[in-house]
Every structure is written in C-alpha cells, then in structure tokens.
Amino acid sequence: MTLCNECAPILVNEEAGCNIWLMTVRAPEIAATAAPGQFVHVKIPGMDDHILRRPLGVYAADAEAGTVDMMYQVLGFGTDRMTALVPGADAVELIGPIGRGWEVPAGCKRALVVAGGVGSAPLYPLVQSLAADGVAVDAILGASTIDALVARERYGAVLGCEPACSTDDGTFGRAGFCTPLVEEALAAAEAAGKPYDYVACCGPEPLMKLVAAMAAEAGVFCEVSLERRMACGVGACLSCVVDTVDGKRRACVDGPVFPATEVVW
C-alpha cells in the first residue's frame, strides 16, 4: 500500500442536499492512485481539541484534473467544521488512498449495487469502473427523502438510465426502505435466466446485513463496506476492529470492503 499525504486546497464545498455536502479538493497523487472503495483520512483545520482525522470514502477521483471528490453527511464536530471551510482559501490534509476496495469477481458480467444514504459515495467509482469494463450494472439507491438522493444524477449519467430509488418518506421512487427493491431485482434477474454474479452494498449496517443475507440466499457473491470509528487509519491502533470468521480484522487496512460471508454480523 503506497500512501500519500497531501495538503489539498479546497476547490468546491457546497451543500448538495439535506445536510449532505460535496467537497472537491486538489490532490493529484491520491487522484492518480485511488481504487474504487478506498478512502481518505481527512485532517480538518481548526480542530485543535479534536486531533483525530475523519475517514471519508473517495466519491470520485479524476486523475487528469488531479481532483478528489468527497460526499459528507454532517453528523458531529468534524463534519460540521468542514462546512465552514472556504474554497480558494482553505485546505484539508489527506492521507490516502487507504484500504481494500471493491474486488469484483473475475468474469463478472452482471452486478447489482445497493447504496443506502451516503453509502452511494464509495460505490460510485465502482459503478464507473464496472460500466467501463462492460459489466451490466443495476443500481438501487435508498435515502431518507428526495433531497438526500444526491448521487442520483451521477449514477444516471454513468448507467444511461435512472437508478432504482426508494425514499423512507415516499417523496421519490418506492416508498419505504430499499430492501424490497433488492429482493425484486435478485428475483427478476434469476427469473430472466441472467442472475447477478456480484452484489456490492454500502450503507447503514442493518441494510448491509439484510442485503448480505439476500445475496447469500440467491447464491450471489456479495461485498460490503463497513464503517468503524477510526483513530490512526493506517492499521496501527486497532480501534477499528471487525469480527470476521477469521478472527478480528482491521476495517482501515483489511477493509473497509469485506466479502459479506466473512463478516460476523
């Protein structure tokens, strides 16, 4: 793992909807090397009493432009502080790209991608890469409300069609959680004689657990991207352990993406 440590000037920092923000930074080394599903560990300026970095998935990496996009939901002190950072004046310090990203099985022809909330961020580079490799991709995006479906347009542009969507409050797409859409997609693919070879899921842990069970039931290989509180972010402190069938693993460097059957839920 080659890690870069870059002082990244902020180019864009704007609310994309519903307490979810988009930040674009100039970080050419990370942009050139990030693989789908990897993350960056972000040092936010002006947080002298909170020394820990915050992990954020790479939402998009443009090697040519030397830019990295992050999508962040404002939850606590660090992400709130990020909203005050000014493009053109402020910079964040990034360590990355970190971790094991998505590992698509060899020969994959058909994939189902399931994102809950800001889980759509680390899945977006995977969708780009699958589409570029000629894999047929179906995407399901679940969110609390229409304004939280901030990645919908980007997904649509890559897929060439609208992703299937659900909102908890029924303001867009199917009303309720996205899991019935997942069940239906798996069943429809099987019935059409074109079953999926791969399911990738990122979102709240209960969603990932359910999707993992559905994929197992359908006999489809599934990966999930796990979130843990992280201190060092580089494998040294063991603050991010995940229980797996092979014992305790570190989410930062052994993950964040794990085969779903390896996770002890």
Ligand X SMILES: Cc1cc2nc3c(=O)[nH]c(=O)nc-3n(C[C@H](O)[C@H](O)[C@H](O)COP(=O)(O)OP(=O)(O)OC[C@H]3O[C@@H](n4cnc5c(N)ncnc54)[C@H](O)[C@@H]3O)c2cc1C
The alpha carbons of the chain give a radius of gyration, in whole angstroms, of 18
The span from the CA of 33 to the CA of 68, in Å, is: 11
Among 54, 100, 249, 250, binds ligand X (CB under 6 A): 54
Contacts (CB under 6 A) with ligand FES, residues 12-71: none
Contacts (CB under 6 A) with ligand X, residues 153-212: none
By C-beta, is 194 or 229 nearer to ligand FES?
Answer: 229
From ligand FES, ligand X, none, which one binds at residue 136 (CB under 5 to 8 Å depending on kind)? none
At 260, which amino acid appears? A
User: Least distance from C-beta 189 to ligand X, angstroms?
Assistant: 28
**With binding defined as CB under 6 A, does residue 257 bind ligand FES?**
no
From ligand X, ligand FES, none, which one binds at residue 220 (CB under 5 to 8 Å depending on kind)? none
**With binding defined as CB under 6 A, does residue 228 bind ligand X?**
yes
The span from the CA of 236 to the CA of 228, in Å, is: 15
Kindly state the number of chain residues that form the binding site for ligand FES, as judged by CB under 6 A. 12
Stretch touching ligand X by CB under 6 A, among 23-31, 53-61, 85-93, 216-224: 53-61
Instruction: Tell me the backbone φ, ψ of residue 222, rounded to 5 degrees.
Output: -130, 140
- Going from the C-alpha of 30 to that of each of 106, 107, 241, 245, 261, the distances in angstroms are 26, 28, 25, 32, 30
Tokens (6 digits) for 166: 């659900």
